[in-house]
Chains A and B, each alone.
Chain A
């Protein structure tokens, strides 16, 4: 370890008073560093300038201890993998790469299985998502009442396609295959609030209300 890392480590130990988790995390980090030619941290901070590396390490350690917290809650059992991933997703609103890697190490589950799950289920995102989530329902009931038009209009207003996030990280826009409120179709959900058949001006107003 570099001097800076040493310092960071002891600082973390002192200031946060972590006795168990962080120590476990740090031990594992150290052992990983020893085991492979490229250490856990440097794998993640590849291409990062040396002066930024400390910051990256700090972030990685914070994520790792968060993941540990979640694992402790659910039990260190690979049958909990999906539930753990769901909670990481809820925590960060996406799945940070270091969290997946750490999870793989801690649960002893191969990284390919984690990626398969993370890309199979719609709840997971491998890229950071915007502050506000806009979802247009594409269920059959919504479809026959014009959800395509609603989705096109939302897309036009947000200036992104479904599945994308605005550059300013304000909005992520998704289409969903049925939200289960079929009597109201077509439906758009903004941050968990359901809106039934908004007109273009109404939709614009709703979106403008999102900071």
Chain B
């Protein structure tokens, strides 16, 4: 049983004791255990390491640790060998014996597993030299890689719970509030509302019972920052929550975790138990007289539950429909009691502000947006993963310097931010600094941190339809503008992508948008038009091509494209013919292959499988498919194969 921590001194001693047990020069293999790396088998890699160090007799000298997400998910499994900081990417179980014998025993770097710049071919051995990491400042997220999420001692070793000790032992709730106010932390969930203002409202609402809530119902498609924080470093969130509860005067907290994140639930429950053992949660925390307990609530799968009033309804055991928020939840929330809800990342910022001070915190970021923001940089970009940068970093820096540019050398088309409430930002705004205010000026929003990069092969009408489908499914369906508005959005966009759009459709979409925006009950509806409006605003030509020419310029919309085998490129290799799931391709050895357009289901298997050296399959849109060639025999050049 761990000793209960009763004072600042106790805290310091505990940390010293933990740190003294750790040899800073001991070799430590940290293996990313985030969801991305797990998909690539990080569990097995971890196990292989544990066994292999034993087998090679270095288990005393070398420690092995599974940590939270490192962020570079594209290159999983990611491992970092400390203290040298050697970073190996795309590690598989087969590589483990070699890593142990070469690197851990003989201290030799295995070049093959290090980062190689796709453009320059330059190698980087140290994690901090890799461009993906070099341009970030990971003040919140970076701690993940040192911590085993199930070990509270790991968190304490790097200074965890010191902010809580400082707040409870040395500061009054008012002073904590002042510090957070000075730091101007704004809500990371997307709204950007100043946390201190919300806290103050809850604090000054007259009631004995108040609640604080962590919103880990991360529903924005394309975003997973909160997941990786909650899974990788749950104590930082709990510490922030407890500090907030102290400032607000709440004695009960909830962590609402979406059901798609079982590991986050598991790690949070484990963290709560451990924190209770040390007395960081429970009665009379650190002898300050402050009581605080936390409970985990599992979500049941509804995007709209991320909306604060809907989330509170769900905690009450009712259907997660938003309610009109003319009386704020910070005044009347769960069971009518003042309830302060913040997003995971917001809470994780709080300990930083308390331990390092508001002055330090406000030195990072822009005029109106302080600190850093974590983004999920995904889509058609070379380095996908989670990145944390100071507010005000430009889109270009994020996508090109950190993200390494567009996949396969394609042309950038747009970046979608802010999830279904955000918009698509075209190339002309790539130099915009990213913060709470700047992106809103171009019709999008920074949102909770999803950043989905799209290239020339993405159809923007299809993207708009995608978001409308998403929202039609995820809207609660209570209010008319949102439910019925989305129904017609859906109908209109469906007919446009299937080539049956009407000339008046763009205007109709805009007209409906005004009303959905103005009259919907909650933020889901009020922001639902953004993906439609921004794509119309910046990519109107694509809409017009679909409507007027029945053509999909990006060749995405199935009803408007045809697959075609170019006769002069086809080498009659039989690959596409054999693999076509509907037998729509005719031909033979030596006979040029032809797609029967009537049978083709446009699944794209032929295009995927046609060898790149032939490149014979193409997509056509807005033009007739040429008739099959009269002469079907392949002309064989001398020395050419099949």
Interface contact B39-A180, CB-CB below 8 Å: no
Q: Is A194 an interface residue (CB 8 A)?
A: yes
Given that A141-B452, A149-B604 are known contacts, is A184 also in contact with B39, CB under 8 Å in the complex? yes
Smallest CB–CB gap between A78 and chain B, Å?
5
Most buried by B among A116, A184, A195: A184
Task: List B contacts of A185 (CB < 8 A).
Answer: 378-379
Tell me the bound Cα distance from A178 to B303 in angstroms: 10
- Which chain B residue has the least Cβ–Cβ distance from A194? B39
Given that A144-B380, A144-B463 are known contacts, is A181 also in contact with B224, CB under 8 Å in the complex? yes
Smallest CB–CB gap between A132 and chain B, Å?
17
Task: List B contacts of A200 (CB < 8 A).
Answer: 579, 605
Given that A141-B379, A183-B36, A184-B36 are known contacts, is A177 also in contact with B473, CB under 8 Å in the complex? yes
Most buried by A among B319, B320, B579: B319
Interface contact A139-B221, CB-CB below 8 Å: yes
Identify the stretch in A28-36, A47-55, A81-89 within 8 Å (CB) of chain B at 4 or more residues. Answer: A81-89
Given that A116-B319, A145-B380, A180-B227 are known contacts, is A83 also in contact with B298, CB under 8 Å in the complex? yes
- Which chain A residue has the least Cβ–Cβ distance from B608? A199
Q: Is A61 an interface residue (CB 8 A)?
A: no
Specify which of B224, B300, B320, B454 is in contact with A182 (CB 8 Å cutoff). Answer: B224
Interface contact B379-A144, CB-CB below 8 Å: yes
Tell me the bound Cα distance from A176 to B605 in angstroms: 23
Interface members, chain B 511-534 (any A CB < 8 Å): none
Interface contact A184-B603, CB-CB below 8 Å: no
Specify which of A121, A187, A194 is in contact with B320 (CB 8 Å cutoff). Answer: A121
Interface contact B603-A182, CB-CB below 8 Å: no
Smallest CB–CB gap between A123 and chain B, Å?
4
Taken residue by residue from 235 to 247, chain B's Cβ proximity to chain A (1 for < 8 Å, 0 otherwise) reads as 0000000000000
Smallest CB–CB gap between B577 and chain A, Å?
15
Tell me the bound Cα distance from A153 to B452 in angstroms: 24
Interface contact B222-A196, CB-CB below 8 Å: no
Q: Is B450 an interface residue (CB 8 A)?
A: yes
Given that A83-B297, A138-B221 are known contacts, is A177 also in contact with B458, CB under 8 Å in the complex? no
Q: Is B35 an interface residue (CB 8 A)?
A: yes
Taken residue by residue from 86 to 118, chain A's Cβ proximity to chain B (1 for < 8 Å, 0 otherwise) reads as 100000000000000000000000000100110
Task: List B contacts of A194 (CB < 8 A).
Answer: 35, 38-39
A interface, how many residues as a size bin? 35 or more
Tell me the bound Cα distance from A194 to B262 in angstroms: 13
Q: Is A161 an interface residue (CB 8 A)?
A: no
- Which chain A residue has the least Cβ–Cβ distance from B315? A79
- Which chain A residue has the least Cβ–Cβ distance from B422? A140
Smallest CB–CB gap between A17 and chain B, Å?
32
Interface contact B603-A152, CB-CB below 8 Å: yes
Smallest CB–CB gap between A153 and chain B, Å?
7
Taken residue by residue from 219 to 232, chain B's Cβ proximity to chain A (1 for < 8 Å, 0 otherwise) reads as 11111100100000
Smallest CB–CB gap between A181 and chain B, Å?
5
Interface contact A178-B220, CB-CB below 8 Å: yes
Task: List A contacts of B599 (CB < 8 A).
Answer: none
Task: List A contacts of B227 (CB < 8 A).
Answer: 180
Specify which of B35, B297, B299, B319 is in contact with A180 (CB 8 Å cutoff). Answer: B35
Given that A121-B301, A177-B303 are known contacts, is A86 also in contact with B466, CB under 8 Å in the complex? no
Specify which of A78, A124, A176 is in contact with B300 (CB 8 Å cutoff). Answer: A124
- Which chain A residue has the least Cβ–Cβ distance from B601? A152
Interface contact B260-A179, CB-CB below 8 Å: yes
Tell me the bound Cα distance from A201 to B260 in angstroms: 27
Smallest CB–CB gap between A106 and chain B, Å?
14
Taken residue by residue from 374 to 388, chain B's Cβ proximity to chain A (1 for < 8 Å, 0 otherwise) reads as 001011100011100
Tell me the bound Cα distance from A82 to B378 in angstroms: 33
Tell me the bound Cα distance from A26 to B39 in angstroms: 47
Tell me the bound Cα distance from A144 to B384 in angstroms: 13
Most buried by B among A139, A144, A178, A187: A144
Q: Which residues of B contact A (CB under 8 A)?
A: 35-36, 38-40, 73-74, 218-224, 227, 259-262, 297-303, 314-320, 376, 378-380, 384-386, 416, 419, 450, 452-454, 458, 463, 466-467, 470, 473-474, 476, 579, 581, 603-605, 608
Query: Top 6 closest A-B pairs, CB basis?
Result: A122-B301, A183-B73, A121-B300, A194-B39, A140-B222, A141-B378
Contacts A141-B379, A149-B603, A180-B223 known; 18 new A-B pairs at CB < 8 A: A81-B318, A82-B300, A117-B319, A120-B320, A122-B259, A123-B299, A124-B301, A141-B221, A143-B466, A144-B463, A177-B221, A180-B218, A181-B39, A182-B376, A183-B376, A193-B39, A196-B39, A200-B579
Q: Which residues of A contact B (CB under 8 A)?
A: 77-83, 85-86, 113, 116-117, 120-124, 138-141, 143-145, 149, 152-153, 156, 176-185, 187, 192-196, 199-200
